[in-house]
Amino acid sequence: MKPRGLMIAVVVLAALAVAIFISNKKQAAASKSTDSTTRLLSIPEDQFKEIQIKKLTGETIDLQRPSGKWEMTQPKPERADQDAVSSMVNSLSSLNYDKVVDESVSDLKAYGLETPTLAVQVKKKDGSSAEVLIGDDTPTGSGAYAKLPAEKRVVTISSFVKTSIDKRPDDLRDKRLLTFEADKLTRVELQAKGQSVEFGKNGANEWQIVKPHPQRADSSAVETLLGKLRDAKFDPTAPDADAPKKFAAAAKLATVSLTDSSGSQTMEVHLETGKDKTKTYYAKSTVTEGTYKIQNEVGDALDKSVDDFRQHKVFDFGFSDPTKIEVNSRTFTKSGDKWMEGSKVMDNNSIQTVIDRLRELSAKNLSDKPVVGSQLYDFTVTSNDGKRVEKVIIRQQDKKLLAQRQNEPTIYELADSTASDLQRDIGGIKEKAPEPPKKK
């Protein structure tokens, strides 16, 4: 290429580079401008202190957060649904508009903003406030007109944003019949089926039965109960005016009391059975006023006896693999990734088969009657880095195979096949096969 042609090419490339740089800069500036000008409100969520919504109907909803949790003060003082209010806060904290329809409005009435459908005011922790007015829906119904009180500009917001703000008091009420936090509970008492059972936490933070007498609880069964109670809600949109009368006439099913450091909450549930065997549950609680029909799954969860919450598994080690197993006169200890019996290296798979068998050992029936019978097995299983030691004796009495944990009265009646299964698995424990000689 000739020197003159080369110079021209360099100049053209430089000009293109400058043009691209300027274009990119303009695009970035335009993008930044768009981001800032489409925002009606921008308030950090942690700065919200109060939300007041005045409606065209004359109704006022006032929500306040005096100490971390939202409360409804208008139309009357009530607990607020924290999730529902948080969703509204999320919408208001970064309230965007879609487009400008009038830069300098002269007739607010044309947009329904002379007397707004919604007038929303947010009071912040620093003492300042922000307000937005929302008027009529747009002709297409996909949005609504809105403006800030201090501005003449009218914009549109999406119908989704308007819906997220335009709530009824019932939408924002806490509809739970019990307001506990499961991880903070210290006691749970259930009266049902003519029995009374009380649950408490042990040193490992696991649920145990403490009344009618101390015994192991099926923690998953207790957690299932608490999950159903946590979901127990009333439906304010479908009130049953006769609920108090129906509650009084129905048979009492259960009473449950929950205790944490702040006190106790109680709910009483009654069951109405129809001629076609249909079930309807009614409840009242110390947390909220009134009597309500509740979900059937909540009532079903309370219709339990003590045995429904007793632990049927014989061993507690679960998925925490043991490090030591003693069975009758034999002792197997784990060293690193090897199982040893004295100085002998054992076959890991044969030991694991026994561990799996013990892990799944479960009672088909439970009893508290004393056992007199011939002893078949004496197990001691150490797990959880030596912190958990479980001793279980298995006996045979009247053709029944019965297991009992050390220092516990409960008798676990095992399946008939358990004796032969254990005999086979324990008899199958063997030494590790020697390594084949290496080829020279």
Phi, psi values for residue 247, rounded to 5°? -60, -45
pLDDT tens figures, 123-171: 999 999 999 999 999 999 899 999 999 999 999 999 999 999 999 999 9
Q: Tell me the longest C-alpha to C-alpha distance in the chain.
A: 112
224 assigned to some structural domain: yes
204 Cβ neighbours under 8 A, 6+ residues apart: none
pLDDT tens figures, 189-214: 999 999 999 999 988 888 999 999 89
Mean pLDDT computed over 90-95: 94
Asked if 189 and 300 sit in the same domain, the reply is yes
Mean pLDDT computed over 436-440: 73
17 assigned to some structural domain: no
* Counted domains in the chain: 3
Domain range for 67: 39-172
Asked if 302 and 330 sit in the same domain, the reply is no
Peptide bond just before 75 cis, omega within 30 deg: yes
Residue with tokens 């946590």: 230
Asked if 286 and 336 sit in the same domain, the reply is no
Tell me what pLDDT residue 368 has.
86
Domain boundary among 132, 153, 172: 172
Domain boundary among 172, 190, 210: 172
Asked whether the predicted pLDDT for residue 22 surpasses 80, the reply is: no
364 assigned to some structural domain: yes
Output the domain CATH number for residue 94: 2.60.40
Domain boundary among 137, 172, 207: 172
The reported pTM is 0.74
Mean pLDDT computed over 382-404: 93
More confident residue, 300 or 28: 300
Using N-to-C axis directions, what is the helix angle for 348-359 and 418-427, rounded to 10°?
160
Asked if 44 and 162 sit in the same domain, the reply is yes
Asked whether the predicted pLDDT for residue 237 surpasses 80, the reply is: no
pLDDT tens figures, 346-357: 999 999 999 999
Asked if 188 and 214 sit in the same domain, the reply is yes
Asked if 188 and 277 sit in the same domain, the reply is yes
Tell me what pLDDT residue 9 has.
53
Asked if 130 and 197 sit in the same domain, the reply is no
Q: How far apart are CA 72 and CA 68, in angstroms?
A: 13
Measuring CA to CA, how many Å separate 273 from each of 225, 292, 438?
A: 22, 16, 77
Asked whether the predicted pLDDT for residue 56 surpasses 80, the reply is: yes
Q: Are 167 and 211 in contact (CB under 8 A)?
A: no
Q: How far apart are CA 325 and CA 426, in angstroms?
A: 11
3 assigned to some structural domain: no
State which H helix or E strand residue 197 sits in.
strand 195-201
DSSP notation for 30-94: HHHHHHHHTEEEE--GGGEEEEEEEETTS-EEEEE-SSSS-EEEESS-EEB-HHHHHHHHHHHHE
356 assigned to some structural domain: yes
Asked if 164 and 67 sit in the same domain, the reply is yes
More confident residue, 53 or 239: 53
